[in-house]
Amino acid sequence: MPAAALAAPVTDVPAAAAPTAAGPVTDVPAAVPAAPGPVTDAPAAAGPVTDAPVTPGSVPAAGSLSAAPGPVTDPPVTERPKPLHDPDPYSTPPYGEPGPWAPAPPVQHPAAAPVPGTMTAGLPAGAVPGPASADAPSPAPPVHGPAASAPGGPVAHAGTAPPAPAGAGPDPAPADAPPPAAVTVAAPSAAATVPEQATYAAPGADTPAADPWRRYDPWAASAATASWQQSGAAVPTREQRRKRTRKAIVGAALLIALVSGGIGGGVGAYLERNGGVGTVELPQAGKEAAERAPDSVAGIAARALPSVVTLHVSGSDAAGTGTGFVLDDRGHILTNNHVVEPAGPGGGITVTFDSGDTAEATVVGRDSGYDLAVVRVKGVSGLTPMPLGNSDNVRVGDPVVAIGAPFDLAGTVTSGIISARERPITAGGEEGDGSDVSYVDALQTDAPINPGNSGGPLLDSRGRVVGINSAIRSAGSGSAESDGGQAGSIGLGFAIPINQGKRVAEELINTGKATHPVIGITLDMAYTGDGARVGTRGSGGGPAVTAGGPGAEAGIKAGDVITAVDGQRVHSGEELIVKTRAHRPGDRLELTLERDGRETNVSLVLGSSGGD
């Protein structure tokens, strides 16, 4: 019968040939480990080797191969193959000793067959791999012990493949098939178990079947198609997996928070240092209506500014700046006497209106006792007169607005309240003889008034004039003074009441000069006691009480001390003059006198004197 396809011939050791139909088959020594007892061939019957039925306890050889007649000698034992790699100097598992970190992992064996051309381990001794097929039966396990044989029949060698099923003949060899390769046959021993043998697959030959016991040989070549092996690590439980998941989530959240914080801090620092990204556009309120409440400072200023003017005065010896306001549409403007006084006889006065227009002005009349003057501009039309109020209606605490040109800053608006009424002040006196001293029963205000505000209006909450700004009290002076100096405001400003200013302005416009109310007496200005004492002699050496005057007719005598006017106490001669000039000529006054330690009351009608 033709021999089955065998593994590639091994030519290391020659053996006796057994003639077969396909060619000689020789026994060659197999690479087997040393086993107790000799390994010998099973006795064979003389005569030709024929196929024999499989009996229990016997294992037929693959392809029904039988040994040739004649004596069979024990094959020599060859040297065991050396490992394909060097020993592991670090004793790494699984080849070395278990490491201190973990027990040695269990060994898992690959189930796939080796690549053709490599050494195959795990087949029974003498097994010949057959053609690989999907439905090929698994090889039978090796038989230990002597092979069973029928009486008078041929003896089957151990390790041979079982015979084909009954009724099935061997596959005929193709005509162009190559000669069969030599196969190694190991004889069974009655006293020892036949160890497994290693076979070599010839290139191009079919891959032998896998070892059902999956023995592991660390020196054998690894299978190219080996399946994955377990690492030996413990499989985490569900609770462990949940903990790991939670830890991963918490870690990711912390990482995101840190990264976000870092990015936010960097962006914030950049925006703080560089002022943002791109161009800067600041928020702003939208456009609103220009109108303001009539009683607000803005409303009052809007109505009053067209009637306020700035005066620039220049003379041969001095120059100055002041303020005035329009009295009528004829061009009359009211201001302070000390504003226009530097112009003198040959000086000039230029008036600048709120619109910016300018015009030349001339003095109509002035009075140093009241510190008032009227100038007039010509050739100007469309003037807006300032409405006049009543200073007797003013009360302490009323809001007021002051408009002027402090330090030549035209159109300056300040506001405050009425701090006091009927405050007796005197200003001027630079001449030495007292001819330039002004006596004013003034309105006191805390609205800022500075040099340049003189002659400007002091307005009530309805925009009406209640006073003419005239003097300030500075920190360096002990009395009120005009703004001819450069002292600034400390919140003590004084204004001439508009009732007195109206009367004087009318007289200056109509007659060119103002009249002063008089009592007809000469006062002792050196008296330091309480009240105003009548002097002993007049200014020209005459009597202190003018004969035929209002005082003489009321019975006032030299040396009398006047302590009150209309029931209001007076403490000095200046206060008596201020109280008197607060009235018009022809007004009646009630005076309280002290004479020889006794107090008496007298009544008189004020007389008149021409102004300067």
Residues annotated as catalytic (active site), given as ranges: 338, 371, 454
Q: Where are the beta strands (DSSP E) in 224-383?
A: 308-314, 319-326, 332-335, 348-352, 358-367, 372-377
- Strand runs labelled E in 336-475: 348-352, 358-367, 372-377, 399-404, 412-427, 438-445, 457-459, 465-472
Residue 181 has a CB neighbour count (10 Å cut-off) of 18
Question: Is residue 261 within a helix (H) or strand (E), and if so which, with residue range?
Answer: helix 238-274
What's the gap between Cα 285 and its chain centre? 24
> Which residues lie closer than 8 Å to 453 by C-beta, 6 or more apart?
323, 402, 404, 405, 406, 412, 469, 483, 493
Q: Element (H or E) spanning 600, and its range?
A: strand 598-605
- d(CA 584, CA 580) in angstroms, rounded, equals 8
Helices (H), 14-108: none
The two three-digit tokens of residue 548, written as one number = 């035929």
Residue 599: count of CB within 10 angstroms of its CB? 11
Which of 270, 91, 116, 277 shows the shortest CA–CA distance to 200? 116
**DSSP β-ladder status, 607-610 and 515-518:** antiparallel
The residues, ordered by sequence, that sit 6+ positions from 265 with a Cβ below 8 Å of its Cβ are none
Distance between the two ends of the chain, CA-based, in angstroms? 171
E strands along 236-318, which residues? 308-314
In the DSSP assignment, the letter for residue 481 is B
CB atoms closer than 10 angstroms to residue 14: 10
Q: Which two tokens stand for residue 576?
A: 């008596």
Count Cβ atoms below 10 Å from residue 528 Cβ, excluding itself.
7
Partners of residue 378 on adjacent β-strands: none
| Residues 454/339, Cβ–Cβ less than 8 Å | yes
Residue 375 to residue 340: CA distance in whole angstroms: 9
- The answer to whether 494 and 458 have CB atoms below 8 angstroms apart is no
Give the pairing of strands 457-459 and 399-404. Answer: antiparallel
Do the beta carbons of residue 40 and residue 147 sit within 8 Å? no
**Comparing C-alpha atoms, which of 444, 393, 392 is closest to residue 421?**
444
**Class of residue 602 by CB neighbours under 10 A (exposed 0-12, middle 13-18, buried 19+):** middle
